[in-house]
Chain A
Amino acid sequence: MNPSWIWLTIALPFAGFLVNGVLALAKPDAKRVVSLVGPGVLLAAFAVAASIFAGLWTHPPEEPIVLPLWAWIGAGALRVNFSLQVDQLSAVMLMVVTGVGSLIHIFSVGYMREDPGYARFFAYLNLFVAFMLILILGSSLPVLFVGWEGVGLCSYLLIGFWYQEKANADAGKKAFIVNRIGDFGVLIAMFLIFWTIGSLEFTDIVKHAPSAYAAGGTLITVITMFLFLGCAGKSAQIPLYVWLPDAMAGPTPVSALIHAATMVTAGVYLVARTSILFSMAPVSSMVVAGVGATTALFAASIGLRQYDIKKVLAYSTVSQLGYMFLGVGSAAYSAGVFHLVTHAFFKALLFLGSGSVIHAMHHAYHATHSHEDAQDMRNMGGLSKYLPATYWLMLLATFAIAGVPPFSGFFSKDEILSAAFGRGAEHPVFYVFWAFGVAAALMTAFYMMRLMAMTFWGENRTGTVEQEHLHEAPAIMTGPLVILGVLSVIGGVLNLPEFVGGLSHQGLEKWLEPVLAPAAKQMPVHMPHGSTETILIVAASLTAIAGLVAGWKATLAKPITVAKAAHEEVGFARVLFNKYYIDEIYQSLIVRPLVAISRLFLWKFVDQGVIDGLGVNGSGGLARALGWLGGRLQSGQLGLYVIVFVAGAVWLLHAVIR
């Protein structure tokens, strides 16, 4: 299909949103229609995307194809068209979003069936896909920004999908506001870019950036730092990661689609998209890599001590996103994107799998009217018996995320670590980042195995009555899991490293080259070769396996008590369990003071006290008081009147003679 039909991929889910939205308001019970329309539009969009991708595959374009839809904002030199850009990078993203999106939509048909907000859910989900596609297809920063904020909105709506719980609504709001902090950075970056390059089109940025900025200069560093602030918000990096764990309040398919596979990777996408800028700003790149590596390690460490199955996955996502930034920060943009893709597969699988588990647990508790936590792993155990398909698929995903060769995660993670190690030759600090990455990989393997062990192995702790009701999810849910499982396993073929040979020159790196070449020219990637490479690979593999084994052993070493009987954590475990108290610190250092200052100082004191009290009512009161005083002078005594009269007369005579 001709790329000019690309708008259909956006229009289809948007139409789905409209249909489902109207149904949600008018006929919330029409679940049949919703079940058809919701995933249907996505599959159609995927079909369109696939056929366009096929066209691109056969005839890769040299230059990005820009398809203007209409003139959007125009003022003076600023001319922003609402136009879409099709190139190798957006095509990859397109496939991931529509593909994984379709699978998750199908899964949701089963998962959300019982929910009264079924139509609303699909409306939001469709809208999200539409915005996500605008984000990746937008040909300029402002259009991208439409999608950028749009997905944030959908994320907000979906996190707070069960809005009756205050905690959920809080989580949604938190997500949006933290994202807005990032958006602030994107906005400032846009302003700077516009006033230096004169355009916000990506093609223009790529074309003019090398001449407009001095490589390594302050300006470009500032621009990229602000851009990265946006990326950190959207992709949950330190210090803005705090919203993502809370975002697990949304339905699990949402966590899979938005908070694992697609939206949260938008930051990585943006760095890749503006790679020309980052490649010209080594300091910023270093910051990106550093923040990524630190986040990877930091989040992974928190993941070690979480009991909520989704929280573990959430911190895992934050950690994996950190990997991606470590990659793009090391100028290995294609590696970042590669990990983005494989992560989309295995993390979506993990989330959906956990969804399947929660689904089962929920049913079990629902049947017995128990109010236990269906997401707490301490209440699970031994589930492999009841959910065999889910168990096996999640085990595959665990190997993938842990980086066990030859699962997909192994290749992408290895490429990132290699790139970081390679950059170490230039900036030794990258060795530290690499070490962080390796440590994080160890922890990843550990906590994933811990998750598997607590969930699927050992004795079942759900309860004797509840066990009766534990059973595997329907086919409509396991089907997508199977496909994702396959992708998680073989995803590595997308970009096989050199030592595997053969297909390597056909890989993702090659495919993305037209897009990333200008950046590569500024900052070439140094991949270690030969023996170094081999050592790194072996070390990474061993790390993964060591982590897995350790996780397995450690978890099953002693019996696990169920959630309600669990005693409090002690020592450092407690710090980890409480996520280093970061939320509490933010709350008491930023949020509460801000609200208090706003209420007590700005509103009560400045506004009501000083301006309105002293200034406005004060002057009114002063006038009234003066008037009252003047009235007192009017005592009714004629003698006084005469005295004032004569005094006035004397003054007047004096004034004349003077």
Chain B
Amino acid sequence: MSNFLASINYNSWILHVLLVFPLLGAVAVFLSPAALAKRLAFAVTLLEFLLSLGLWWSVNTSNGTMELMQTIPWIPQWGISYAVGIDGISLTMVLLTTMLMPLCVLGSFAAITEREPGYYALLLVLTTGMIGVFIAMDMFLFYVFWEVMLVPMYFLIGVWGGKNRLYAALKFFIYTMAGSLLMLVAILVMVRVAAVMGDGKVSFSYFHLLQYAQSPIMGRIAPWLFLAFFLAFAIKVPLFPFHTWLPDAHVEAPTAGSVILASVLLKMGTYGFIRFAIPFFPGVAFSTFVTNTVVTLAVIGVVYGALVAMVQPDIKKLVAYSSVSHLGFAVLGIWAASVQGVQGALMVMIGHGFSTGALFFLIGMIYERRHTREINAYGGLARVVPIFSLILTVVALASIGLPGLNGFVGEFLVLIGSFRIYPYATGIATTGVIFAAAYMLWALQRIIFNKLDKPANEVIPDLNRRELAVLIPLLIGIVWMGLYPKPVLDKIEPAARRYILMTKGLVVPGDDVIRTKGASQ
């Protein structure tokens, strides 16, 4: 495989193609008739996935450094370049994105009946935005992707969403923008300070900023800068108490929108912590106050999310709050900055992408049949739709971290990795596994078990082939990563170690590790 990829010079063009191809696809889809649009969109996303798959072999993740770096001057007057690169962390995130997109398209075939070309075109634009966030190596570029992504999502929620979609769309947009605008100021200030330190060289390059991020001048304002970054990412994660946009957005978004939100968009917050906020300001991020605050918030998120999820009457809201809970684990692991914690956080991110994505698909499918998301409107479905019930059960169990399925690997690693550092917080977070069982099984019971006492539920058909085609890849992922997560763990380990070195201020760009000691364990 590697030889073949090398022979077509894969590494030199793939990142650009991954960004441009969906955009071109979006234009084509937008201009094509409705009947063709969805097929075309599916073809584009599938091809995009196949293209991206080569990254698995072609990217050398063993150093944990940014590979495939490409820098093209964009706005040289302002020191802005089109710079992209990829490491193990980005790699998994990009593949998660590209893998989900064909499923999202396929999963929308029946649900979306209005303005289809626009819908699928937006999904494709979103693809570019998401991939861009994960590979941008220039802060300007990153910011552009970060913000641009909001637009398709805004439309997806607002146009194709549920009853209260207008409120949810606006809330989603403004909430997210609130965080990112302050980050914008922080980026600019960093660039200015770096320019002072670096003989007036103005550059938005990630590495350039990383180089000067720990300079003494930056040190004085670092808490403020960190706060700005932190807010942007904490809202996206979402970390308690910045999470209230999520339930609304999830509930109102169309199925594919919810899937993308949960599976990819939320990960951008944690990704942002790992890639930007913490490596830039490790001193602040790991100061006692910040550490205590973040870990407390993460743990509150874990427990609070689970408890609030438990009492939701709306199944989508339940899953939304469960995301708050899960992502709390991820943040905890990131702040633990131990190998297990960080790898665990990444596994939580990936695992949550699979299981929650699948949950939202399932909810969407049942919604298409019954047009309600009220948990109490269901009951006894196991008898009418056994395949649906089986898959829902498996996915729900994956979500609550049943060992052998993917959710467990991440949670276990996070908890074991964080335990040494924050024993009490981790101990409290571990109770999350109890509450997770409570909310998920209770919901499961009310949906697929109990008496089949609503006549409307007696006639719904089981999953069809298209729906199975959407779910089975996710199920394979859930089981595979639960039983044999090693290939993924191996891909992310060097990058995770590198992140840990950064948290200790042991890495400077120029991309070389000064000291490698003290980051094992």
A and B, direct touch (CB closer than 8 Å): yes
Q: Which A residues lie at the B interface, using CB under 8 A? A: 24-25, 70-78, 82, 142, 145-146, 148-150, 153, 156, 160, 163-166, 169-170, 172-173, 176-177, 180-181, 183-184, 187-188, 190-192, 194-195, 594-595, 597-599, 602-603, 606-607, 611-612, 615-616, 620
Of B310, B486, B489, which is within 8 A of A598 by CB? B310
Chain A CB within 8 A of B307 CB: yes
Contact A180 B412, beta carbon cutoff 8 Å? no
**Quick one: which of A72, A187, A607, A620 contacts B486, CB cutoff 8 A?**
A72
Residue of B390, B413, B445 near A78 (CB, 8 A) is: B413
Contact sample, A vs B, 12 pairs, CB 8 Å cutoff: A76-B339, A78-B340, A148-B403, A160-B445, A163-B445, A177-B441, A181-B434, A184-B430, A184-B431, A184-B433, A187-B433, A611-B241
Give the residue among B308, B338, B390 with the most A Cβ atoms within 10 A.
B308
Residue in chain A with minimal CB distance to B487: A71
Interface, chain B (partner A; CB < 8 A): 171, 174-175, 241, 243-245, 304, 307-308, 310-312, 338-340, 343-344, 380, 382-383, 386-387, 390, 397, 402-404, 409, 412-413, 415-417, 419-420, 426-427, 430-431, 433-434, 437-438, 441-442, 445, 448-452, 483-486, 489-490, 493, 496, 520-521
Known: A145-B403, A188-B430, A599-B311. A25 touches B390 (CB 8 A): yes
Residue picked from B445, B493, B496, most chain A C-beta under 10 Å: B445
- Distance of B241 from chain A, by nearest CB (Å): 5
Asked if B413 and A73 sit within 8 Å, CB to CB, the answer is: yes
The residue of chain A having its C-beta at the shortest distance from the C-beta of B497 within the complex is: A76
- Minimum CB–CB distance from A307 to chain B (whole Å) comes to 26
**Contact at B431–A195, with CB atoms within 8 Å?**
no
Query: Contacts A25-B390, A75-B343, A164-B451 given: A177-B417 contact, CB under 8 Å?
Result: no
Given A164-B383, A184-B430: A77 touches B521 (CB 8 Å cut-off): yes
B438 touches A191 (CB 8 A): no
Query: Which residue of chain A has the shortest Cβ distance to B317 in the bound complex?
Result: A603
CB atoms of A607 and B450 under 8 A apart:
no
Q: Which residue of A lies closest to B170 (CB)?
A: A620
Q: What are the residues of chain A within 8 A of B489 when measuring CB–CB?
A: 73-75
Do A146 and B390 touch across chains, with their CB atoms under 8 A apart?
Answer: no
Within the assembled complex, what's the spacing in Å between the Cα atoms of A422 and B244?
A: 61
Closest 5 CB pairs of A and B: A76-B339, A163-B449, A191-B419, A169-B449, A599-B311
Most chain A CB neighbours (cut-off 10 Å) among B427, B430, B449, B520: B449
Complex: chain A residue closest to B382, CB-CB = A163
Would you call A76 and B434 a contact (CB within 8 A)? Answer: no
Q: Quick one: given A180-B434, A191-B419, A611-B241, are A75 and B484 in contact (CB under 8 Å)?
A: no
- Closest chain-A Cβ to B234's Cβ sits at a distance in Å of 13
Bound together, the chains give a CA A78 to CA B450 distance in angstroms of 42
Picked from A150, A172, A594, the residue with its CB within 8 Å of the CB of B307 is: A594
B403 touching A170, Cβ below 8 Å: no
What CA separation (Å) do A612 and B438 show in the bound complex?
A: 25
Determine the distance from Cα of A164 to Cα of B449 in the docked complex, in whole angstroms.
6
For A148, the chain B residues whose CB sits under 8 A away are 403
Looking at chain A's contact residues, the main secondary structure is helix
List of A residues within 8 angstroms of B312 by Cβ: 603
Contact B308 A598 (CB under 8 A): yes
CB–CB A190/B308 < 8 A: no
Q: Is the CB of A603 within 8 A of B308?
A: yes
Give min CB distance, A606 to chain B, whole Å: 8
Report A-chain residues with C-beta under 8 Å of the C-beta of B490. 74
Contacts of A616 in B (CB 8 A): 171, 175, 244-245
CB contacts (< 8 Å) of A195 on chain B: these are 416, 419-420
Whether the Cβ atoms of B307 and A602 lie closer than 8 Å is yes
Residues of B within 8 A of A74 (CB): 486, 489-490
- Smallest distance from the beta carbon of B496 to chain A beta carbons, Å? 8
CB nearest neighbor in B for A145: B403
Contact B343 A173 (CB under 8 A): no
Closest to A152 in B: B402
- With known contacts A75-B340, A173-B441, A616-B171, A607–B404 Cβ distance under 8 A: no
Q: Across the interface, do B483 and A82 meet the contact criterion of CB distance under 8 Å?
A: yes
Known: A177-B438, A598-B310. A163 touches B175 (CB 8 A): no
What is the bound-complex CA distance between A74 and B171, given in angstroms?
A: 41
| Complex: A166 Cα to B452 Cα, angstroms | 10
**Interchain CB contact (< 8 A) of B450 among A163, A595, A602, A606:** A163
Contact A164 B450 (CB under 8 A): yes
Q: Are B445 and A170 in contact (CB under 8 A)?
A: yes
Measured CA separation A606–B312 after assembly (Å): 14
When the two chains form their complex, are residues A173 and B445 in contact, meaning their CB atoms are under 8 A apart? Answer: yes
Q: Which of A75, A78, A169, A184 contacts B434 (CB 8 A)?
A: A184
B484 contacts which of A72, A166, A595 (Cβ < 8 Å)? A72
A611 near B403 with CB under 8 A, answer: no
Contact assessment for A183 and B433 in the assembled complex, using a CB-CB cutoff below 8 Å: yes
| B420: A residues at CB distance < 8 A | 191, 195
A603 with B311, Cβ < 8 A, contacts A180-B433, A184-B433 known: yes
Complex: A176 Cα to B438 Cα, angstroms: 9
4 new A-B contacts at CB < 8 Å, known A172-B445, A188-B430: A70-B486, A73-B409, A164-B451, A173-B445
List residues of chain A with CB within 8 A of the CB of B415.
187, 191
Contacts of A25 in B (CB 8 A): 386-387, 390
How far apart are the CA atoms of A141 and B431 in the complex, in Å? 19
Residues of A within 8 Å of B382, CB to CB, are: 163
Q: A142-B403, A164-B451, A169-B445 are in contact. Are A76 and B521 (CB under 8 A)?
A: yes
User: What residue in chain B is nearest A185 (Cβ atoms)?
Assistant: B430
Residues of A contacting B493 in the complex (Cβ-Cβ under 8 angstroms)? 75
A149 in contact with B416 (CB, 8 Å): no
Neighbouring A residues of B241 by C-beta, 8 Å: 611, 615
Taken together as a complex, chains A and B put the C-alpha atoms of A70 and B433 apart, in Å, by 26
How far, in angstroms, from A163 to B448 measured CA to CA in the complex?
A: 9
Contact B483 A72 (CB under 8 A): yes
- Residues in chain A near residue B521, CB distance under 8 A: 76-77
Query: What CA separation (Å) do A74 and B488 show in the bound complex?
Result: 10
- Of all chain B residues, which has the CB nearest A168? B449
Query: How far, in whole Å, are A72 and B420 apart by their CA atoms in the complex?
Result: 22
Max chain B C-beta neighbours (<10 A), residue from A149, A165, A192: A149
Q: How far is the CB of B355 from chain A (nearest CB, A)?
A: 15
A145 contacts which chain B residues (CB < 8 A)? Answer: 403
Within the complex, the shortest CB–CB distance from A57 to chain B, in Å, comes to: 32
**Minimum Cβ distance to chain B for residue A604 (Å):** 9
Please give me the residue from chain B that is nearest to A116 by CB atom.
B383
Contacts of A78 in B (CB 8 A): 339-340, 413, 416-417
Q: A73-B489, A177-B441, A616-B244 are in contact. Are A142 and B412 (CB under 8 A)?
A: yes
Chain A residues positioned under 8 Å from B416 (CB to CB)? 78, 190-191, 194-195
Q: Chain B residue with minimal CB distance to A174?
A: B441
Question: Contact check: which of B338, B434, B484 meets A70 at CB < 8 Å?
Answer: B484
Which chain A residues border B419 with CB–CB below 8 Å? Answer: 188, 191-192, 194-195
Contact partner, A76, options B307, B430, B484, B520, Cβ 8 Å: B520
Picked from B441, B450, B520, the residue with its CB within 8 Å of the CB of A156 is B441
A188 to B420, CA, bound (A): 11
B386: chain A residues at CB < 8 Å are 24-25
Q: B413 contacts A146, CB within 8 Å?
A: no
* B413 closest partner in A (C-beta): A75
Distance A148 CA – B397 CA, assembled complex (angstroms): 14
Q: Which residues of B contact A169 (CB under 8 A)?
A: 445, 449-450
- Contact in complex: B304, A602 (CB < 8 Å): yes
- The residue of chain A having its C-beta at the shortest distance from the C-beta of B244 within the complex is A612
Chain A residues whose CB sits within 8 angstroms of the CB of B340 once the complex forms: 75-76, 78
Q: Are A607 and B430 in contact (CB under 8 A)?
A: no
Give every chain A residue within 8 A of B383 (Cβ-Cβ): 164
Distance (whole angstroms) from the CB of A190 to the closest CB of chain B = 7
Kindly provide the distance from the CB of B89 to the nearest chain A CB, expressed in whole angstroms: 14
B438 partner residues in chain A, CB cutoff 8 A: 177, 180
The smallest C-beta distance from A60 to any residue of chain B, in angstroms, reads 31
Residues of chain A within 8 A of B442, CB atoms compared = 173
A602–B438 Cα distance when bound, in Å, is 16
- Complex: how many Å from CA A474 to CA B493? 59
